[in-house]
Amino acid sequence: MITAPRIGLDIGGTKIEGIALDAAGEIIARQVVPTVPGPESVLQSTRGLVDTLAAAAGLPLTEFAGVGIGIPGQVDRASGTVRNAYNMGLSELALGEELAARVGIPVSLDNDVTAAAIGAAHIMQLGGTVAYVNLGTGLAAGTTIDGVPVRGTDGYAGEIGHLAVDPRQRACLCGQFGCLETVASGSALKTHWPAGGAHPGRTLLAAVAAGDSDAKQALDYLIDGAAQAVRVLGLAVNPGTIVIGGGLRLIGEPLFAGVRDTLTGWARASEFIAALRLAERVQVLPEGSPAAAIGAAIAVND
């Protein structure tokens, strides 16, 4: 429950998105800056963004309950340390402690998908058990129960992208073969459709419409993998709502219609799967929603 203003940051490989929330949970300031890799650069960027957000909100930093950060990698929430956030040039950084010393208010860390799950439930006003599927550079998930995240013992809850279930058995960066992430992610699109360049999701549908068979195959893999991720979450936590977020959701209705059609087909073939009502429980995170930044702010001092 929010009782005081707080700041939330979503640190990604290319940008850092920051928001300030008031005591009612409404956004009162929002700013985006480029990510500059490396420990000192990340610290300087986040410090500057915190100051900018506080000034835009018209409040001194001492009025904020703290700063929440969502970041990829292995996050030790207790110590405020992030490890293996390679896109940011961070092998290990005590980001919480270091930033708190610079801004003078508490700083807490969460995995970015966990933060996004918290934020999605807040933005979409979803109660009960909510699962969030992040289709981005990788594939991961988060779960909240009445707004409270399920983080797991060591913070690994939701790493469903590394379920090694795909029969094509493509190598994954995690060291396994056949992970869901090798078929349903931005990195998978690059592998299956190299002609798409650095941001294949932006041009995928046009290529499919033009008759590019590799693009069509990559889209089919993405749809099937995303549907498998939904089914895994349906079976694992039986959520009332399954929210699809991440950059690849901007592919739009052909992706979502494909996922729902796949889920409906599985339901026709199995009364057991039909009972989960997966297709009707899928929703999409609204475009432009800073879910991870909001979720990180909400989770300050929780």
Per-residue pLDDT tens over the stretch 246-301: 999 999 999 999 999 999 999 999 999 999 999 999 999 999 999 999 999 999 97
Tally of domains in the chain: 2
What is the predicted pLDDT for the residue at 84?
84
In a domain, 210, yes or no: yes
What is the predicted pLDDT for the residue at 155?
80
What is the predicted pLDDT for the residue at 80?
95
What is the predicted pLDDT for the residue at 220?
96
Q: What is the DSSP letter of 177?
A: B
113 and 155 co-located in one domain: no
Q: Which of 181, 294, 298 is nearest to 248 (CA)?
A: 181
What is the predicted pLDDT for the residue at 136?
92
175 and 201 co-located in one domain: yes
What is the predicted pLDDT for the residue at 1?
66
Cβ–Cβ under 8 Å, residues 33 and 293: no
What is the predicted pLDDT for the residue at 14?
86
Residue 145 β-bridge partners: 129, 148
* Residues in the chain, pLDDT under 70: 1, 302
* 259 token code pair: 């996922």
138 and 259 co-located in one domain: yes
What is the predicted pLDDT for the residue at 99?
97
What is the predicted pLDDT for the residue at 302?
66
The parent domain of residue 260 ranges over 126-284
Cβ within 8 Å of residue 18, ≥6 positions away: 7, 8, 9, 10, 29, 30, 31, 32, 33, 49, 50, 52, 53, 293
Cβ within 8 Å of residue 265, ≥6 positions away: none
What is the predicted pLDDT for the residue at 274?
98
Q: How many helices (H) and strands (E) does the chain have?
A: 10, 13
What is the predicted pLDDT for the residue at 86?
79
Query: pTM for this structure?
Result: 0.94
89 and 180 co-located in one domain: no
